[in-house]
Structure 1
Amino acid sequence: MIYVNGRFLTQNITGVQRFAEEISLELIKIRSDVIFLVPDLNAVKKKELLNVIKIEEVCGLSGHLWEQITLPLYLYKNKRPLLINLCNTAPVSYPNQIVTHHDITYLKFPKSFPFSFRLLYRLIAPLILKNSKHIITVSDFSKKEIVTNYRCPLDKISVIPNAYSDIFKPYITKTDLQKKENYLLAVSSTNFHKNFHGLIDAFLSADIDMDLKIIGGSADVFKKLELDQSHPRIHFMGRVDDDQLVALYQNANAFVFPSFYEGFGIPPLEAQACGCPVISSNSASMPEVLGDSVLYFNPQSKSEIVKALELIADNHELRNKLVTYGFKNIKRFSWVKSANKLNNIIQNFNG
């Protein structure tokens, strides 16, 4: 049997959990010996998954304590099977495991995280990476960052990229295409490195007649970042379900991704899959993920963001070209391909 650390099933969806869920759903199509271990069946967020995947409850403690104590004890009692960890954390004391480390944002942008979070990751990340059999990350950019900062051997790390779900798709009929609304869309968590503060500052200075809709986190969280919420053209949408998210992508005039630092960045691919043109930061992994399919800007430069916003707002022909380029770009990524890569790694270490 292959066991998967299923703690992610009890967490709210961000990019990390999206990776874990989507690749898991494809992995179980490839092999029938996968069991997901969770601390509490009642805590699983998507109840429909209980009927789709094999889930076993391992009771005792919760959160990080479950992951560091209860989970490895259970595995040691069951002949030390291979454990797959698809999010950033894993049991420190369990060597027969494959771990996933999406990026090292906690080192590069400590301002984005509470002190307790930074301390935890600084303590356990090097131990997890050192003690594991193999490491997965989501881009060549992240692989280089991990190798440089943790001195991991290159051959110990494999790149398995993110992709986008099939629910993200464009409108089909000509009537639907006329539903585009007059707004720009941004989707992400509210950490400092996501650069919502820079986007809002540039948006308020740009000469455009559009609204800005921001998805991710609550208005209260944005208040803590001291973002301007008073402008009538800026709308904080909070968390939305997948159907709402698809509709927002489909109806937007353009999608904006202003992040300083990303190990991968799934939202731009989701936008492109929905037929939404993308303008993006040129930092970190974004050129690797998006290639020549977007209009880039320097996220540290307010004037460049303003220029990109004004250009995408005024140039209908450019938006149409970016939609076409986006459809071409997303063909490079597939959860099926990524799950097959994971399965190959599992076979190498489960002999």
Structure 2
Amino acid sequence: MRIFVDARSLLEKKPSGISRYSKQLIYSLLTFYPDKKFVLFTNSYTNNDSLQIYRAFPNCEIVSTRIPNKILHASFGVLRFPSLETFAKKCDVYFFPNVMYLPRLPFASVLTVHDISYLQLPRAYSFRNHLWYRMVRARSLIGGAREVVVDSIATKRAVLQHFPKKKQNISVVYPALIKPTLPVQRKKSDHLLVLGDIDERKNIYGILSAYEQVRSQDNSYKPLLFVGKRGYVNLRASTLRLFNTLKRRGWIQERGYVSEKEKWDLLSHAQGLVFVSFYEGFGFPGLEAESLGIPIIASARTCMPEVFGKGPLYVNPDNIQSIVHAMQLLPTLSTHVSYDNPLVTRSWEQVASVMMNIFTKVAYENRN
């Protein structure tokens, strides 16, 4: 079987969660299916060493173009040209690990949709964000894919609300934990951690408001540390004001985007993880915290109870007092929580196996 893979996300200079997912999945497919041929499509106007690890696989063919991204995106998005078949000989299956600028999808296409929060929670996105989803034709791509893969049952339900015709062509494939390169041990806690992009979808105002109340009542409470790239373009003015006010008081700290090594180090020092988003498609930070036994405050919404299991303190993200109560309770909990969650021990070999079954099914349907 010859499988085309859109590997453009592997070239991100600051890898996102989706980029890390793509990297781990592609590496696993190449490792566990040496009898399959994988054609990785990438585009970079400058030289990039990110693909060296894949060149060592004899079952991997890399097709790289050197077109400025703006030109390629405009060509794909507006002209629907060139077709993907232009870049590689005819493939049995075309796999897209995430929604990006693409021309018309081939019939035998498999598309991973990590979340559709831009449809479920439009208020959390700026005009510019919504314009991007229009230009990339996200709805058209989801509707046109032969098979849609989602990360959770909650995301499947959300997709089917907007795309009911996909009922027979949508599969849930839980990702696995992306483990650190070296083993990580818990260390002395010195902060409460918020891990992920700083934007309205993450309920930043609710976190800040709750923390302000808790810290006002107990000045010895651990500082609140934000780790993740800024999404300030999506933050309301009231959220920004409160963020800056608490920052000036020295109650909160911000580290911005960090490497994987730094992230795991900061996680190992966390008294707890605050993950009270309005919407998530999967939620890697929660699994990462569970792997270290770190207490979690999480939203009882969308995929989080499904993915994180019974261990976290669940809150109503719309109710600030619910978050306040959980923050006050957190220091009284055991410093190490035992989570009985099979997703923490799930392997990428298992993920690759399920994906290969989907590829095989789509390839068979394409031939018939």
Does the pair score TM above 0.5? yes
1:13 maps to which of 12, 15, 22: 15
**Which shifted more, 74-83 or 207-216?**
74-83
Determine the C-alpha separation between the residues in 1 that align with 2:161 and 2:323: 30
**Is 2:97 the counterpart of 1:86?**
yes
1:73 maps to which of 70, 77, 83: 83
**Is 2:262 the counterpart of 1:232?**
no
The letter of the residue matching 2:99 is N
Deviations 1:87-145 (A, max 9, x none): 12362412232111111111122233332431342461222122221111111111111
1:188 maps to which of 183, 189, 196: 196
Residue in structure 1 matched with residue 24 of structure 2 by the alignment: 22
Determine the C-alpha separation between the residues in 2 that align with 1:219 and 1:135: 28
Determine the C-alpha separation between the residues in 2 that align with 1:84 and 1:74: 11
| Cα 1:263/1:101, change in 2 over 3 Å | same
Report deviation, 1:186: 0.9
Q: Any conservation in 1 of the 2:84–2:103 contact (CA below 8 Å)?
A: no
**Is 2:270 the counterpart of 1:252?**
yes
Residue in structure 1 matched with residue 39 of structure 2 by the alignment: 35
Report deviation, 1:78: 4.2
Determine the C-alpha separation between the residues in 2 that align with 1:223 and 1:158: 35
Q: Any conservation in 1 of the 2:46–2:66 contact (CA below 8 Å)?
A: no
Residue in structure 2 matched with residue 58 of structure 1 by the alignment: 65
Counterparts of residues 257-272 of structure 1 (less than 5 Å):
257-272=275-290
Determine the C-alpha separation between the residues in 2 that align with 1:61 and 1:111: 32
Matched residue count: 341
Determine the C-alpha separation between the residues in 2 that align with 1:219 and 1:291: 28
Report deviation, 1:185: 0.7
Residue in structure 1 matched with residue 338 of structure 2 by the alignment: 324
SS at match of 2:329: helix
2:313 maps to which of 291, 295, 318: 295
1:119 maps to which of 125, 128, 131: 131
Q: Any conservation in 2 of the 1:58–1:71 contact (CA below 8 Å)?
A: no
SS at match of 1:136: strand
SS at match of 1:126: helix
Determine the C-alpha separation between the residues in 1 that align with 2:103 and 2:289: 37
**Which shifted more, 140-149 or 269-278?**
269-278
SS at match of 2:174: coil
Counterparts of residues 166-205 of structure 1 (less than 5 Å):
166-167=179-180, 171=184, 177=186, 179-205=187-213
| Cα 1:213/1:77, change in 2 over 3 Å | closer
Residue in structure 2 matched with residue 101 of structure 1 by the alignment: 113
1:159 maps to which of 172, 175, 180: 172
Report deviation, 1:348: 1.4
**Which shifted more, 218-227 or 195-204?**
218-227
SS at match of 1:165: coil
Determine the C-alpha separation between the residues in 2 that align with 1:75 and 1:191: 37
Determine the C-alpha separation between the residues in 2 that align with 1:295 and 1:205: 18
Q: Considering only aligned residues, what root-mean-square deviation do their CA atoms show, in Å? A: 2.7
With structure 1 as the length reference, what TM-score do the two structures score?
Answer: 0.87
SS at match of 2:83: helix
Report deviation, 1:246: 0.8
SS at match of 1:38: strand
| Cα 1:79/1:143, change in 2 over 3 Å | same
Counterparts of residues 299-318 of structure 1 (less than 5 Å):
299-313=317-331, 315-317=332-334
Determine the C-alpha separation between the residues in 1 that align with 2:129 and 2:231: 22
**Which shifted more, 272-281 or 218-227?**
218-227
Deviations 1:196-237 (A, max 9, x none): 221111111114411111101149767975123323121101
Report deviation, 1:297: 0.8
The letter of the residue matching 2:158 is E
Q: Any conservation in 1 of the 2:198–2:231 contact (CA below 8 Å)?
A: no
SS at match of 1:237: strand
| Cα 1:71/1:251, change in 2 over 3 Å | farther
The letter of the residue matching 1:7 is R
SS at match of 2:249: coil
The letter of the residue matching 1:204 is E
**Which shifted more, 64-73 or 287-296?**
64-73
**Which shifted more, 117-126 or 235-244?**
117-126
SS at match of 2:338: helix
Which ranges of structure 2 fall in alignment gaps of 5 or more residues?
Answer: none
